[in-house]
């Protein structure tokens, strides 16, 4: 089942926008049921794609040394986070049992994920927030609009939750997404300094399983996540026959993405197509021209064992990130959210 959830990443499509003035604070929470050798509950926090903390085994810990500077403003920060983690674990374990009951399930491997956070524009000071709750890799309920604090039940089984949350959670969560979360985000950005401003450019390469397959432009090793990858023909952006892959995490904290070009490649096409990569915070584009000698391929239709190097580490943390990113990006438009820690009064789904 874990393998199936990972492969969902190849189904989501879209062109990410490059917005260097947007800062984000996002939290991924996951609780599992009957998964061997897998932490039953885990929280991971990120600021601008940099992991800042994690909590499992009933203890919250900093993922970066600079995060500990937050105790200057909040001396009891880690004690509070640890207590919050312990409380959330009890709530989420109860919630996954509720969901199993609603879906008429008594056993087996199951996952429940909460994906939420806020963003802040440091030029306009505008803020926004989002929240998604997923079960077994599919969104069941999502926050539709921060201003009205309305939720969309993606599954009939979550409709009762929608009614309850709109009745009981509206006032607190609106305050959380517009005041509490952005306030924490600004503190993390202040203490993160240069660590949050680093950029790493990717390696670009062309990959092709066989001559009749699409040519994949593969960018890997870039940071931050806010990047764009696209094709140009004769200097103009080209969309016909182009399919965009999802942005995925690498094991070293960097990211990778792909853009497939499915057109007939002839001698006349030599040098006309190029793949362009743009990274937030970097003015110059990375450009590589499509030429036959630059394509890594098996060389024949009969041989199709070339492995496209999409690196998805089996580590629990990266699995959480992959699933979270897939669910958010696939469902953001569907549920009407315009945007892309840490305490809550209640998160019960019943």
| Residue pLDDT, tens place only, 202-251 | 999 999 988 889 999 999 999 988 899 999 999 999 999 999 999 998 88
pLDDT of residue 345: 36
Plot region of 55 (φ>0 → left; ψ -120 to 50 → alpha; else → beta)? beta
Q: Using an 8 Å Cβ cutoff, are 15 and 250 in contact?
A: no
Distance (Å, whole) CA 184 – CA 106: 39
Domains of the chain (ranges; CATH) run 2-196+315-331 (3.30.500.10), 203-297 (2.60.40.10)
Distance (Å, whole) CA 272 – CA 292: 12
Distance (Å, whole) CA 283 – CA 113: 36
pLDDT of residue 349: 56
Q: In whole angstroms, how far apart are CA 190 and each of 72, 73, 124, 195, 196? A: 12, 11, 17, 10, 10
Q: What are phi and psi of 144, to 5 degrees?
A: -90, -40
Distance (Å, whole) CA 116 – CA 45: 10
SS3 172: helix
Cis ω for the linkage preceding 224 (within 30 of 0): yes
pLDDT of residue 2: 41
Q: First and final CA of the chain: distance in angstroms?
A: 26
pLDDT of residue 270: 81
Segments of the chain scoring below 70 in pLDDT: 1-20, 298-350
SS3 1: coil
pLDDT of residue 14: 38
Tokens 């432009």 correspond to 217
pLDDT of residue 252: 84
Strand partners, 218: 205, 258
SS3 157: helix
pLDDT of residue 79: 96
């Amino acid at each position: 089942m874990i393998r199936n959830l990972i492969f969902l990443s190849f189904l989501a499509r879209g062109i990410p926008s490059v917005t260097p003035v947007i800062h984000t604070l996002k939290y991924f929470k996951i609780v599992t049921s009957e998964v061997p050798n897998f932490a039953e509950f885990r929280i991971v926090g990120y600021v601008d794609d940099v992991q800042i903390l994690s909590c499992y085994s009933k203890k919250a810990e900093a993922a970066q040394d600079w995060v500990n500077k937050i105790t200057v403003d909040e001396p009891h920060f880690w004690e509070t986070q640890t207590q919050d983690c312990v409380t959330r674990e009890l709530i989420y374990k109860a919630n996954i049992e509720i969901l199993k009951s609603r879906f008429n399930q008594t056993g087996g491997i199951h996952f429940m994920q909460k994906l939420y956070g806020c963003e802040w524009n440091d030029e306009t000071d505008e803020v926004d927030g989002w929240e998604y709750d997923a079960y077994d890799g599919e969104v069941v309920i999502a926050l539709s609009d921060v201003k009205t604090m309305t939720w969309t039940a993606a599954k009939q089984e979550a409709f009762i939750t929608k009614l309850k949350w709109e009745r009981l959670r509206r006032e607190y969560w609106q305050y959380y997404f517009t005041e509490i979360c952005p306030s924490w985000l600004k503190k993390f950005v202040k203490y993160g300094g240069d660590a949050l401003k680093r950029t790493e450019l990717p390696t670009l390469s062309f990959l092709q399983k066989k001559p009749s397959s699409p040519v994949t432009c593969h960018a890997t090793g870039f940071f931050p996540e806010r990047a764009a990858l696209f094709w140009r023909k004769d200097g103009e952006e080209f969309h016909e026959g182009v399919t965009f892959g999802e942005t995925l995490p690498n094991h070293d904290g960097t990211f990778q993405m792909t853009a497939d070009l499915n057109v007939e490649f002839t001698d006349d096409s030599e040098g006309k197509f190029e793949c362009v990569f743009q990274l937030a915070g970097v003015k110059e584009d990375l450009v590589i021209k499509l030429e036959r000698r630059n394509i890594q391929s098996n060389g024949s239709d009969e041989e199709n064992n070339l492995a496209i190097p999409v690196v998805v580490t089996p580590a629990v943390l990266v699995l959480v990130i992959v699933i979270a990113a897939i669910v958010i990006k696939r469902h953001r438009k569907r549920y009407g959210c315009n945007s892309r820690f840490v305490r809550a009064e209640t998160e019960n789904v019943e």
